[in-house]
Amino acid sequence: QPHLASQIRWEREGLACETSINLISSSRPSVLGASGGIGQPLSLLLAISPLVDELSLYDVVNTPGVGADLSHINARAKITAYLPGPDSAGLEKALTGCDIVVIPAGIPRKPGMTRDDLFKINAGIVRDLAAGVAKFCPKALVLIISNPVNSTVPIAAEVLKEHKVFDPTRLFGVTSLDVVRASTFVADVAGGDRTKYKVPVVGGHSGETIVPLLSQISPSVSIPSDKLDALVNRIQFGGDEVVKAKDGAGSATLSMAYAGFRFAEALLKAGQGETGIVEPAYVYLPGVPGGKEVQEIVGGLEYFAVPIELGPNGVVKATNPLPNANEYEKKLLEKCYEGLKGNIAKGVEFIGTQS
Ligand code: NAD
Ligand code: LMR
């Protein structure tokens, strides 16, 4: 059932006429890892979105329960839920016909761990799920949440390449939580409404690879120099605050569900014809419009997060805030490039070593 994207009303020869333009047919997102700490609240937000027609849930455990629970909500989305089953039958059913696939499957950190410590387990999970996407919904927009994002996105890209279905404009590492945190923490320092600050955060999604460009906050605000280091550090290591506070019970789930939904909703809106939507994401630079300009500045790195203009088919354009970085930010960027280089190579090599 197509969405009514816009209604046109006009008058001609004294007669009022109405018509409608349908820009997208039905939306069927899928959440892989739907029973988890992020998966459940993210699925709830998608289930109640008026932009969703059918929500498909997939996990290795508990999806029947999560699905039954969500299906009692009187929202428009139909809920379907799948477990693996024999021969990936569940994954096939979950993914067939999907236009957006959100992947928060994988283990979270405990205190003392880095995101890179998750690689050993999550790399294989993302590899297998990306192979499912390649086989069952190769045209879908794919949103990777599973950590370490700096490496899991290259893993997904390599798998899609192997299956000859890689479209860089459709693959995103979700870094929205970094900009959500940046808005909040900037408001905590500068005062005022936490919803009002837009902060470009570029680079990757772990520690020093997360680079907030605080000279480019909109609306413009000046951060006192004695507060700058602490603010940058809080944005870079915000995830650790939650890991520490949860004390062994995992990492950010609710704020991540909010941030992940924000990105998925932006794509759903873009799919319905809304223009001018810009959200951050970690993308394969050589394959997206505007990406090569960014790549030249970041020492040839192939993956990098920048604000992305979104359209119905994913990336319309990677924007490039880097030339406006100040000297302080340029130093942060240098550290970021160093860290990202290794993370990207690790992801690419993982698939190389598999085949
Ligand atoms: P969780 O353990 O609560 O949930 C993960 C879910 O994945 C579980 O339900 C598990 O059964 C499922 N799963 C495991 N293997 C699977 C497979 N092969 N197929 C389908 N499902 C599978 O963890 P969480 O707190 O929801 O975090 C999930 C991931 O998201 C972690 O890697 C975490 O580090 C990451 N994360 C990323 C960001 C970000 O900003 N990108 C933010 C927070 C967390
Ligand atoms: C976050 O930024 O909260 C996530 O990447 C989870 C984590 O491990 O910190």
pLDDT in tens, 107-141: 999 999 999 999 999 999 999 999 999 999 999 99
- pLDDT grade, residue 26 (50/70/90)? confident
Question: Which ligand sits nearest to residue 30's alpha carbon?
Answer: 1
Q: Is the peptide bond before 224 cis (omega within 30 degrees of 0)?
A: no
Q: Is 322 in the pocket of ligand 2 (CB under 6 A)?
A: no
**Across the chain, what does the average pLDDT equal?**
93
- Judged against a pLDDT cut of 60, whether residue 220 lies above it is answered with yes
Q: Is 151 in the pocket of ligand 2 (CB under 6 A)?
A: no
C-alpha 9 – ligand 2 centre gap (Å):
47
Nearest-atom index, ligand 2, CA of 256 = 3
pLDDT tens, position by position, 33-64: 999 999 999 999 999 999 999 999 999 999 99
How far is it, in rounded angstroms, from Cα 195 to Cα 173?
23
- pLDDT grade, residue 81 (50/70/90)? very high
Q: Is 134 in the pocket of ligand 2 (CB under 6 A)?
A: no
Which letter does DSSP use for residue 251 in this model?
S
Q: Answer yes or no: 205 catalytic.
A: yes
DSSP letters of 149-182?
A: HHHHHHHHHHHHHHTT---GGGEEE--HHHHHHH
How far is it, in rounded angstroms, from Cα 264 to Cα 260?
6
The fraction of the chain above a pLDDT of 90, given in percent, is 90
For position 223, what pLDDT does the model report?
Answer: 94
- Judged against a pLDDT cut of 90, whether residue 267 lies above it is answered with yes
Q: Is 314 in the pocket of ligand 1 (CB under 6 A)?
A: no
SS3 353: helix
C-alpha 113 – ligand 1 centre gap (Å):
15
- Judged against a pLDDT cut of 80, whether residue 10 lies above it is answered with no
- pLDDT grade, residue 106 (50/70/90)? very high
CA-proximal residue: ligand 2, atom 2 (nearest): 239
- Judged against a pLDDT cut of 60, whether residue 314 lies above it is answered with yes
CA-proximal residue: ligand 1, atom 24 (nearest): 37
Q: Is 252 in the pocket of ligand 2 (CB under 6 A)?
A: yes
Taking residues 18-26, report their average pLDDT: 49
- pLDDT grade, residue 355 (50/70/90)? low
Nearest-atom index, ligand 1, CA of 175 = 40
Nearest-atom index, ligand 2, CA of 118 = 8
Taking residues 62-68, report their average pLDDT: 98
- pLDDT grade, residue 20 (50/70/90)? very low
Q: How many helices (H) and strands (E) does the chain have?
A: 11, 13
- pLDDT grade, residue 87 (50/70/90)? confident
To the nearest 5 percent, what fractions of the chain are helix, strand and coil? 45, 20, 35
Task: Find out whether 54 and 28 touch, Cβ atoms under 8 Å.
Answer: yes
DSSP letters of 286-351?
A: GGSTTHHHHHHHTTT-SEEEEEEEEETTEEEEE---GGG--HHHHHHHHHHHHHHHHHHHHHHHHH
For position 235, what pLDDT does the model report?
Answer: 98
Taking residues 159-179, report their average pLDDT: 98
The answer for 202, left when phi > 0, alpha when psi is -120 to 50, beta otherwise, is beta
- Judged against a pLDDT cut of 50, whether residue 244 lies above it is answered with yes
Lowest mean pLDDT segment, chosen from 185-199, 255-269, 274-288: 185-199
Nearest-atom index, ligand 2, CA of 240 = 9
Nearest-atom index, ligand 2, CA of 243 = 9
Single out the catalytic residue among 3, 72, 163, 205: 205
Q: Which ipTM did the prediction report?
A: 0.99
Q: Is 251 in the pocket of ligand 1 (CB under 6 A)?
A: yes
- pLDDT grade, residue 101 (50/70/90)? very high
For position 25, what pLDDT does the model report?
Answer: 58
For position 88, what pLDDT does the model report?
Answer: 86
CA-proximal residue: ligand 1, atom 34 (nearest): 108
Residue 161 CB-density burial (10 A; 0-12 exposed, 13-18 middle, 19+ buried)? middle
For position 69, what pLDDT does the model report?
Answer: 98
pLDDT tens, position by position, 318-338: 999 999 999 999 999 999 999
SS3 sequence of 95-120: HCCCCEEEECCCCCCCCCCCHHHHHH
Phi, psi at 311, each rounded to 5°: -135, -175
Q: Say which residues have a Cβ less than 8 Å from residue 185's Cβ, sequence separation at least 6.
A: 231, 234, 235, 238
Q: Is 152 in the pocket of ligand 1 (CB under 6 A)?
A: no
For position 11, what pLDDT does the model report?
Answer: 39
Q: Which of 45, 107, 109, 237 to mutate to test the pocket of ligand 1 (most atoms within 8 A of CB)?
A: 107
